[in-house]
C-alpha cells in the first residue's frame, strides 16, 4: 500500500567531495534525519558519509551502512554481478522500509547528484511508489571537475556526450568522434581502453584527466602528461568543446 503524507525518505546529493559545495537543504536534512544511510565497500567508509562527517560528525546511532556485495570483482553485465547486486538492492529497500514503518525519517546519502549514475536510483525505484520520497539534487562530479580544471566544457552550440568507460573500445571511439565535447566516467580499470579510444578519435591532446575532484587529494593534469595506467573510481576524463567564442 502506498503511504501518503509528509516525506519519509530523502535522497541527498552531497556533491563531488568538498563539503562547502553541499546545499543548504541537504545540510538541513543531514542535521534532522533519524537515519543517515550510505553505500560503501566492505571495510571502508562510504565517500558520501565521509563528506557528511565533516558537516555533522560521525554518529553510529544514526548510521546505516549498505555494504556492496560486489564492486569490481565481476563485469557489470555478468550474472556474478547482476544477481547479487539485485538481491542487495531488494534487501536494502526492505531494510529501509522497516525504518520508515517504525516512524523514522531516512536520508540516503549520495556523492554527486543522486539521479546521475547514482546507486540511490535502485532504491528510489523500489521505495518511491510506496512512501513519500524526495530527492535533493547535488553538484555532479563532472561539473566540479570541469570547474576546478578551469575548462569550460561547452561553447556556443557544442554537443556534450557523457560516456561510461565500461563501453566497448570501438563504441567509445565512435561516440567520441561524433561529439563536440565529452566526459568519460567510470574510468578505473577501464583507463587503458579509454585512453586508446581517445587516441583513435584524435582527442588525446585536448583531454584532461581529473582525479577526486574537490577532495583533499585532487589531481588534475593533461591526459597526455599522465604516464601510468592507474585510475581510481573517482576519476574522469574531460574533452572540452571548441565551439563558438565571442
Residues 114 and 180 reside in one and the same domain: no
Residues 105 and 153 reside in one and the same domain: no
Full residue range of the structural domain in which residue 171 is found: 142-239
Q: Do the domain assignments include residue 88? A: yes
Q: Summarize pLDDT for 16-63 with one digit per residue, the tens.
A: 999 999 999 999 999 999 999 999 998 888 889 999 999 999 899 999
Residues 160 and 217 reside in one and the same domain: yes
Q: Could you give the number of structural domains in the chain?
A: 2
Q: Summarize pLDDT for 204-219 with one digit per residue, the tens.
A: 999 999 999 999 999 9
Residues 123 and 154 reside in one and the same domain: no
Q: Do the domain assignments include residue 96? A: yes
Q: Do the domain assignments include residue 3? A: no
How far is it, in rounded angstroms, from Cα 246 to Cα 237? 26
Which residues 6+ apart lie within 8 Å of 206 measured at CB? 239, 240, 242
What pLDDT, on a 0 to 100 scale, did the predictor assign at position 74?
Answer: 76
Residues 123 and 155 reside in one and the same domain: no
pTM of the model: 0.92
CB 131 within 8 A of CB 9: yes
Q: Summarize pLDDT for 127-151 with one digit per residue, the tens.
A: 999 999 999 999 999 999 999 999 9
Sign of torsion, CA 106 62 119 187? positive
Kindly state the cell numbers that stand for 83: 544477481
Residues 38 and 106 reside in one and the same domain: yes
Q: Do the domain assignments include residue 135? A: yes
Amino acid at each position: 500500500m502506498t503511504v501518503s503524507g509528509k516525506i519519509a525518505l530523502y535522497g541527498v546529493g552531497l556533491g563531488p567531495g568538498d563539503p562547502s559545495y553541499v546545499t543548504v537543504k541537504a545540510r538541513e536534512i543531514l542535521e534532522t534525519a533519524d537515519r543517515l544511510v550510505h553505500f560503501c565497500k566492505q571495510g571502508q567508509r562510504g565517500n558520501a558519509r565521509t563528506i557528511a562527517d565533516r558537516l555533522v560528525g560521525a554518529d553510529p546511532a544514526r548510521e546505516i551502512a549498505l555494504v556492496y556485495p560486489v564492486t569490481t570483482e565481476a563485469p557489470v553485465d555478468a550474472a556474478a554481478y547482476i544477481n547479487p547486486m539485485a538481491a542487495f538492492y531488494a534487501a536494502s529497500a526492505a531494510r529501509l522500509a522497516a525504518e520508515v514503518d517504525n516512524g523514522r525519517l531516512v536520508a540516503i546519502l549520495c556523492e554527486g547528484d543522486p539521479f546521475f549514475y547514482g546507486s540511490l536510483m535502485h532504491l528510489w525505484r523500489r521505495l518511491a511508489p510506496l512512501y513519500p520520497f524526495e530527492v535533493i539534487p547535488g553538484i555532479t562530479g563532472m561539473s566540479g571537475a570541469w570547474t576546478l580544471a578551469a575548462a569550460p566544457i561547452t561553447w556556443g552550440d557544442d554537443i556534450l556526450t557523457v560516456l561510461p568507460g565500461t563501453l566497448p573500445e570501438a563504441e567509445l571511439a565512435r561516440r567520441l568522434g561524433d561529439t563536440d565535447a565529452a566526459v568519460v566516467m567510470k574510468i578505473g580499470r577501464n583507463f587503458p581502453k579509454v585512453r586508446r579510444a581517445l587516441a583513435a578519435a584524435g582527442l588525446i591532446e585536448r583531454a584532461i584527466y581529473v582525479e577526486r575532484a574537490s577532495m583533499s587529494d585532487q589531481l588534475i593534469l593533461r591526459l597526455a602528461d599522465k604516464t601510468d595506467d592507474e585510475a581510481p573510481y573517482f576519476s574522469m576524463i574531460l574533452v572540452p568543446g571548441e565551439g563558438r567564442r565571442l
